[in-house]
Amino acid sequence: MSSRIRKYPGTEMDLKEIEAGKFLFSSYETVLRYSFTSGVAISRFLEGLKEGQLWARECDKCGRILIPPRMYCEEDFRSTDRWVRVRDTGKVNTYSISYVNNDASRRRTPVVVSVIEIDGASKGMGILHLLGEVDPRKVTVGMKVEAVWKPKKERRGAITDIVYFRPRR
C-alpha cells in the first residue's frame, strides 16, 4: 500500500487462511550438507590457527604477501612461492556496526564486523573478523588492533580460534 493506493484490486489472502490450508501450496524442505576440502593453502592456514599463528603466501613475481593464503597468484597466474608467517596484529580497513545476525534476525546489542589488514601482509590483504573490547562508537578506520585467541586447548583449526580483534594495547 502507499499514500495513493489504499487497496489493490482482487481478493486479499489472509495469513490465517493460508495457515488453515484454504489455498493450495506445494511445500518442500531439504537439508543440504557439504564438507569442503580445505586444500593445501587453507589447510596450512587452519593448522596455524591452532598454534596461534597466521600464515600467508608470497608471490616472487609481484612481491605480494597474500592472506588468506592461496597457492596461486591471481594477478600473475603462477604458483606462489613460499609460506610467510605474518603477525596477529593489524589495522581496521573497514567496519560495520551490525544489528542483524547472519540469518537476518535482529540483535539487541550490535557486533562490530571488520576487515583487518594484517601486519606483514601486503596492503589490502586482510581477513574479516569481529572487533571486541571496544565501544562501537569509538571504532575508526586505521585503528590498530590485535588478535584475542582462544586458549590453546580450545582451538580446533577454525577462524573462530581468534575470538575477536581488540584495540592494540
Partner 1 sequence: MVERVEIIGVGFEGFRPSITDLSTRELMYEAASKAYHDAGVDPRKDIGSFISCTEDLWEGWSIADEMVPDQLGGAGRPVCTVPADGIVGLGHAIMHIRSGVADVVAVEAHSKVADVLDKTAVENLALDPVFHRATGANSDVLAGLEMSSFMEETGTKRGELSQVVRSAKRKAMRNGRASYGATLELEEIDSSEPLALPLRRLDRPEFAEAAVVIVLASGSWAKRHRKDGVFIDGLSWRSATPWFEAGGVKTARYMQDSYRSVMKQSGLRDLSQFDVLEVDDSYSFKLVQHLMSMGVSKVGVMGMLKEGTALNPSGGSLGTGHLIEATGSHKVLECVLQVRGTAGGNQAKGVGRAFASSWRGNPTGAGAAIALSVGN
Please tell me whether residue 31 binds partner 1 under the rule CB under 8 A: yes
Q: Which is nearer to partner 1, 3 or 35 (CB)?
A: 35
| Chosen residue from 47, 51, 60, 76 binding partner 1 by CB under 8 A | 76
Instruction: Give me 137's grid cell.
Output: 562508537
Q: How far apart are the C-alpha atoms of 49 and 37, rounded to whole Å?
A: 17
The secondary structure element, H or E, covering residue 40 is helix 39-50
Q: Which residue's CB is nearer to partner 1, number 8 or number 34?
A: 34
How is residue 31 written as a grid cell?
537439508
Q: Any contact of residue 34 with partner 1 (CB under 8 A)?
A: yes
Burial annotation 95-114 (CB, 10 A radius, 16+ → b, else e): beeeeeeeeeeeeeeebbeb
> Is residue 70 a contact point for partner 1 (CB under 8 A)?
yes
Asked if 41 interacts with partner 1 (CB under 8 A), we say yes
Q: Which is nearer to partner 1, 2 or 37 (CB)?
A: 37
How many chain residues are in contact with partner 1, going by CB under 8 A?
Answer: 23
Q: Integer distance in angstroms from the first to the last C-alpha of the chain?
A: 53
For 18-29, the DSSP string reads HHTT-S------
Does position 39 interact with partner 1 (CB under 8 A)? The reply is yes
When the beta carbons of 73 and 145 are compared against partner 1, the nearer one is 73
Q: Which of 36, 108, 140, 169 binds partner 1 (CB under 8 A)?
A: 36
By the rule CB under 8 A, 140 interacts with partner 1 = no
Decide: is 23 part of the binding site for partner 1 (CB under 8 A). no
Is residue 37 part of the contact set for partner 1 (CB under 8 A)?
Answer: yes
B/e letters for 131-165, b = 16+ CB within 10 Å, e = fewer, are beebeeeebeeebebbbebbeeeebebeeebbbbb
Does 30 help bind partner 1 (rule: CB under 8 A)? yes
Residue 18 phi, psi dihedral angles, 5° rounding: -65, -45
Enumerate binding residues for partner 1 (CB under 8 A): 26, 28, 30-42, 70-72, 74-77, 79
